[in-house]
Amino acid sequence: MNNKDIKNIPENVISRLPKYYRYLQSIIAHKEKITSSELSKYVGVSSSLLRHDLHYFGRFGNKGTGYDVKLLYNEICNTLKLNKTYNAVIIGAGSLGSAICRYYSTRNYSIEIKKIFDINPKIIGVKINNIEIQDIDFLQEYLDENPIDIGIICIPEKVSYNICSILTQSGVKALWNFSSSDVNSSDNCVIKNENLIDSLLTLTYRINNE
Amino acid sequence: MNNKDIKNIPENVISRLPKYYRYLQSIIAHKEKITSSELSKYVGVSSSLLRHDLHYFGRFGNKGTGYDVKLLYNEICNTLKLNKTYNAVIIGAGSLGSAICRYYSTRNYSIEIKKIFDINPKIIGVKINNIEIQDIDFLQEYLDENPIDIGIICIPEKVSYNICSILTQSGVKALWNFSSSDVNSSDNCVIKNENLIDSLLTLTYRINNE
């Protein structure tokens, strides 16, 4: 599949690909084929939705024999551009920053956490899974010397604006923002605002309407 | 707006309502009217998308004078069913569970964290913002005596399945699941799988395609 085709995959299909990717990664070493009903069961989508999503990737199997696990995995990997490593820094070593650091530094998902920055002198130099907490005052210097793809923002909203500016102006390609203040879109940086409140508030809606 | 109308609001509109809700809540005490361009700027959506979303809520203002903040806030509050309190428990007092506990226990968003449960004897009895960490062995007993609406799952996947079963069988209405294993849908419980890996993996896609 070439780049033009990838751009034509709808956003809601893209949003489900990581589920397929994670499951295929977990079975690739010991399974050659998987049927759509097996895969759909494990990833928690209907068989018809799964088949609809995977038709964007061409033919990977015949009815009855199932999908070729390796081919399908490689196509999804290529679409999500996970066949290279992305360098990331976490800003904020509080509970959430530490949780994200622990999570990613023990998993093999093309994301490498290089440093975690904080303002609290008591924790500077401490390591979380071998990743050192560094003084936020050295962030600009660090970014000048090290190409970073993704900034993960785990600090309060009152300080996040300045930090996001430093990151975007230093060539960081994406911000994954957990501060409670949304970062507005930027021309040269992809922004994902992950406001945990919003997620919980749509859950209260669904409790009453499903 | 009656319940039938609420059910007709598309899911992608619902997903943006918490943003509007949060911003309106922050200004309601000192602002009576807001124009669509002001509101759209603060919540980071285009004016036309904002007007499209809010047209589901009827007319709250005239061109030039803007929306009536209080009326619009109340309608969104009513749609998301945030005019009552939801009792929640967090399962797992590690970094992520602690972060979520700190976040919600200091904010006024209709969600009340009642307890946080963990398996580690060293932290049982410790309080996070006045919310006590309790032994997971008492979870069933606690649920039998206290009506809980939402279970927030912050434990590893290998133990999450059993805990989710206890919660759903005890009448918990929604699970907000952060364990790395998705919980499949259940007839009497709303499930939101919040796999942080998935979110980051769609970000790598967007870095390369936007």
pLDDT band at B60; cut points 50, 70, 90: low
Chain-wide mean pLDDT for chain A?
87
Q: Cβ of A190 and B182 within 8 Å?
A: no
Cβ–Cβ contact B205 with A under 8 A: yes
Q: Complex ipTM above 0.85?
A: no
pLDDT band at A56; cut points 50, 70, 90: confident
Residues of chain A contacting B184 with CB distance shorter than 8 Å: 44
Minimal-distance CA residue of chain B relative to A44: B184
Minimal-distance CA residue of chain B relative to A187: B210
Cβ–Cβ contact A121 with B under 8 A: no
Q: Is residue A4 predicted with pLDDT exceeding 50?
A: no
For residues B35 and B60, the answer to whether their CB atoms sit within 8 Å is no
Distance from CA of A174 to the nearest CA of B (A): 7
Distance from CA of B100 to the nearest CA of A (A): 8
For residues A196 and A178, the answer to whether their CB atoms sit within 8 Å is yes
**pLDDT tens sequence across B81-93:** 898 899 999 999 9
How long, in residues, is chain B?
Answer: 210
Best to test chain A binding among B155, B206, B210 (most A CBs inside 10 Å)? B206
Q: What does chain A look like in DSSP terms, one character per residue? A: --HHHHHTS-HHHHHHHHHHHHHHHHHTTT-SEE-HHHHHHHHTS-HHHHHHHHGGG---EETTTEEEHHHHHHHHHHHTT-SS-EEEEEE--SHHHHHHHHHHHTS-SSEEEEEEEES-TTTTT-EETTEEEEEGGGHHHHHHHS--SEEEE-S-HHHHHHHHHHHHHTT--EEEE-SSSPPPPBTTBEEEE--HHHHHHHHHHHHHH-
CA A134 to chain centre: 23
Residues 147 through 186 of chain A touching chain B, CB cutoff 8 Å: 149-150, 173-174, 176, 182, 184-185
Structure confidence at residue A64 (pLDDT):
67
Structure tokens at B177: 């699941």
Residues of chain A contacting B17 with CB distance shorter than 8 Å: 201-202, 205
**pLDDT tens sequence across A109-165:** 788 999 999 999 999 999 999 999 999 999 999 999 999 999 999 998 778 888 999
Average pLDDT (A30-58) is 86
Give pTM, 2 decimals. 0.84
Cβ–Cβ contact A1 with B under 8 A: no
pLDDT band at A83; cut points 50, 70, 90: confident
Distance between CA atoms of A52 and B195, rounded to whole angstroms?
Answer: 22
Residues of chain A contacting B210 with CB distance shorter than 8 Å: 190
Q: Tokens 């907490």 identify what position?
A: A133
Residues of chain B contacting A150 with CB distance shorter than 8 Å: 200, 203-204, 207
Structure confidence at residue B184 (pLDDT):
75
Chain-wide mean pLDDT for chain B?
87
